[in-house]
Amino acid sequence: MPLLLFPISPPCVPPPRPRLRRLSPPPPMAAVAPPSLSTPVTILPSVSVALPPLPPPATDDFHWLDLFAFLNSPADSYQIPVEEQEVEVEVEVEVGVERERERERERERARKAEHRRLRQRQVKAETEAWARAADEYRELEREMLDRRLAPALPYVKSLFLGWFEPLRDAIARDQEVQRRKRVKHVYAKYLLLLPADKVAVIVMHKMMGLLMSSKDGVASVRVVQAAHCIGEAVEREFKVQTFFQKTRKKSAGENDLALEKEQAKCRKRVKSLVRRRKLTEAQKIVQQEIELEEWGTESQVKLLYSHQLTKHQRVLQIFDQHLNTRLKKKHWVIECDPLVHEGFESTARHVEIPYLPMLVTPKKWKGYDTGGYLFLPSYIMRTHGVKDQKEAIKSVPRKQLRKVFEALDTLGSTKWRVNRRVHNAVETIWSRGGGIAGLVDKENIPLPERPETEDPDEIQKWKWSLKKAKKANRELHAERCDTELKLSVARKMREEDGFYYPHNLDFRGRAYPMHAHLSHLGSDLCRGVLEYAEGRPLGKSGLRWLKIHLANKYGGGIEKLSHEDKVAFVENQLPDIFDSATNPVDGNCWWMNAEDPFQCLAACMDLSDALKSSSPQCAVSHLPIHQDGSCNGLQHYAALGRDYMGAAAVNLVPGDKPADIYSEIAARVLDVVREDSMEDPATNPTASLARVLVDQVDRKLVKQTVMTSVYGVTYIGARQQITKRLQEKGLITDDKLLYEVSCYATRVTLDALGQMFQSARGIMAWLGDCAKMIASENHPVKWTSPVGLPVVQPYKKYKNYMIALQRQKAAFPPNFVHSLDSSHMMMTAIACKKAGLHFAGVHDSFWVHACDVDKMNQILREQFVELYSMPILENLLKEFQTSFPTLEFPPCPSQGDFDVREVLASTYFFN
């Protein structure tokens, strides 16, 4: 008896209702091949079920039904399966899929609910930010009230509001006394020339200007200096007021109308100059129009001499006048109460506090002031009030800024969190007083005691050492405040699962987090405390890059080795690395010897976790791995000029190990110094300086100067850099000798740079010449970066709003290169985002997860080649010629034979 096998619907599940459709007639049966089963038939247990006979089919109309003629078998029963295991499996799969879909829907609902909760917290944090700042101001105000310093609020206008009435009344009483006297005081002649309210305003403005512009952070001014400045301002105001009064009077005669028009024009000109603070020019016009005798310095000082200022300061209650005896010539000084100065510092410090890291992804950038924070004011560029730059970025089409918006959105979408283990180590060291692992010491440097001798030389040395110690303590105080701000943000964000940094740009296009204190742009402390919120498995390549990253952060010359040597170094240090990870503060503290100690500690912990796991390559890592350019400014100059020699020096050309430009320059400097040291000091004055310097030339001595040479460092700036390095060595104690040796070392270093990078020097000179021509027309230098960002140099003379020619010229080469490195970073960020990488960038340092380093390295090289496949200098020249058609710009510098595509194979281009 044949078994009949056909699908049977499972119990309790109705069979699907067949769909009816019109069928076309089949071909004749002779042309139809017998059907074959696509799947094997399984014989299942069956039972007999009685069925009625089927009527014969109408095969005349449907010949294809003959294929199923066996359905009309004469048998009296059919065999139908009851248990079907395949059907049960299908049902279970469908139920499992449905359950998984439901779980996914639940997870999605939970994610949306969590996002709503975080967004509500973010909205609350932003809207309450200014309220918190106001509370802090009120607390400081209460402290001032307790000390009877009510007028000294932490903002200048409030200070003036508190001072004005008592000061005006005191001056008015003094004026009235002088009017009644037969024999008036020496200063009465000048004090009575202006109303008391104007004198009070002049005194307030001049005193605050002098105190806030005082040097060394001390709010003090000499009495004579204050009296002279106030007297000079009173004289100027008196002359201007006299000028306005005289020119308003109607003159007799036939030319009255013409004279009145001329005087009105003159008055308008003087008012305009005074409003724009061009007081010298206004004074010249006044002097020409009216004849008034000059007061002279003696008369100006008499107006408010010492005891007069003393009376006014008693009214204000925040100034102290005392005799300064620290110098040979004793003099009276006026000092401001320290609490007032703290109020000003607090005001400046709290301005940026509202801009904390965000709990949700920042708004996408869509315009100049649309993007970033949800409610706090956010601007895509930090224009610092420069109208030209603001108008330039507002005027370009939004489509032109698409890449800029996309890059900033990419940087802002990277999710961060606090590395709690590193943060614990930082807090432990800080609670113990700091002073190690790069943390500032909480204790001040002790001040040297005054020597008992009266020897003038010894006294002078003591004064210099005292001055240096006080300066160092002020710097330590500033560093402590900065460290505490960073740690306060870390404590606040420590328990968050993640947070984001909205980014905006400076005028050159470089991206910066809008939060100022704790960000990956900051110091080693900041970078060590931060990590990616989302982790990724290391993989084989990621484990290797983690070791290379640890070696780079340890430094000490290790960063100059090949990748293989770096990996070997780390593997040889594994016991110290494990000890650093498990007992960072009380162990052998190997990580504290690193150049970037907290970043090194974070890498030690990450590597230790991976190697101690059952499968190191499967360990999840949250650590961002850095790939840094090799003297990136010179890399861009070498690519611009197609300079093969310069390209090889900065790793644009493939090599077995990284080329170190700093060591190369140091070697050249050392060769010159050695040659000079062998000369006779009688014939070669530099010989004696070379002999002092010869044992101190190393990579560190020249590194900062080489690094900043492409950014327009001046001779004076380079000398100061080298002086600081020599001071750190501590081998030269005589200040005069230190200065002379620094000058000599600076000259040799800059000469070595010029010889190695002649092409870069030529491009810098060409850029400077073009900038000089544009600035000579009283126009700022402006251009468009390769990603479409308009750039305008903001340098003007603030006294007359004219273009600062020299600064426009000197700043253009470094600013132009900065616009190129920012373009490369933006292009790389966009490409990494499309490739699914979590990207972070700090100018010429690009960060991703360890497992993604190889992919990012490929991307950043491809983007560099794409950038320099553009005719950048030619496009810049065309833009200048279009903007200034009347100027004859010099042609672009000639280029070398370097093929920029060699970068694709350069392992150490970024490493």
Q: Which long-range contacts (CB under 8 A, 24 or more apart) does 113-118 make?
A: 115/360, 118/359, 118/360
Report yes or no: 668 and 751 within 8 Å, Cβ to Cβ. Answer: no
In whole angstroms, what is the distance from residue 892 CA to residue 507 CA? 25
Strand ranges inside 282-336, DSSP E: 319-324, 331-336
Single out the residue of 387, 392, 411, 397 nearest to residue 366, CA to CA: 397
Both tokens of 891, joined, read 């042609």
Both tokens of 444, joined, read 């001040």
In whole angstroms, what is the distance from residue 84 CA to residue 396 CA? 71
Helices (H), 628-782: 632-641, 644-649, 661-677, 686-693, 699-709, 715-729, 735-756, 758-776
In whole angstroms, what is the distance from residue 524 CA to residue 526 CA? 5
In whole angstroms, what is the distance from residue 25 CA to residue 712 CA? 88
Both tokens of 584, joined, read 């960072």
| Residues 591/592/594/597 CA torsion (nearest 10 deg) | 90
DSSP letter at 323 equals E
Catalytic residue among 703, 809, 821, 852: 703
Single out the residue of 406, 612, 412 nearest to residue 512, CA to CA: 412
String of DSSP letters for 177-236:
HHHH-SS--TTHHHHTTS-HHHHHHHHHHHHHHHHHT-GGG--EEEHHHHHHHHHHHHHH
Quote the radius of gyration of the chain (alpha carbons, Å).
40
887: Cβ contacts below 8 Å, ≥ 6 apart: 773, 774, 777, 880, 881
Q: SS3 for 771?
A: helix
Report yes or no: 152 and 337 within 8 Å, Cβ to Cβ. Answer: yes
Single out the residue of 750, 756, 666, 762 nearest to residue 708, CA to CA: 750
Instruction: Tally the C-alpha atoms within 13 A of residue 184's C-alpha that lie toward its C-beta.
Output: 15
Both tokens of 342, joined, read 């703290």
254: Cβ contacts below 8 Å, ≥ 6 apart: none
Q: SS3 for 417?
A: strand
Report yes or no: 99 and 340 within 8 Å, Cβ to Cβ. Answer: no
628 part of the active site: yes
Report yes or no: 80 and 4 within 8 Å, Cβ to Cβ. Answer: yes
In whole angstroms, what is the distance from residue 128 CA to residue 257 CA? 61
Q: SS3 for 753?
A: helix
* Residue 824 identity: H
String of DSSP letters for 602-636:
HHHHHHHHHHTSS-GGG-EE-PEEEEEBSSHHHHH
In whole angstroms, what is the distance from residue 746 CA to residue 740 CA? 10
Catalytic residue among 174, 660, 821, 844: 844
In whole angstroms, what is the distance from residue 228 CA to residue 173 CA? 22
In whole angstroms, what is the distance from residue 127 CA to residue 642 CA? 52
In whole angstroms, what is the distance from residue 83 CA to residue 776 CA? 97
Catalytic residue among 628, 657, 698, 854: 628
Single out the residue of 576, 349, 529, 574 nearest to residue 429, CA to CA: 529
Single out the residue of 39, 352, 357, 307 nearest to residue 185, CA to CA: 307
899 part of the active site: no
In whole angstroms, what is the distance from residue 425 CA to residue 436 CA? 12
Q: Which residues are catalytic?
A: 628, 703, 844
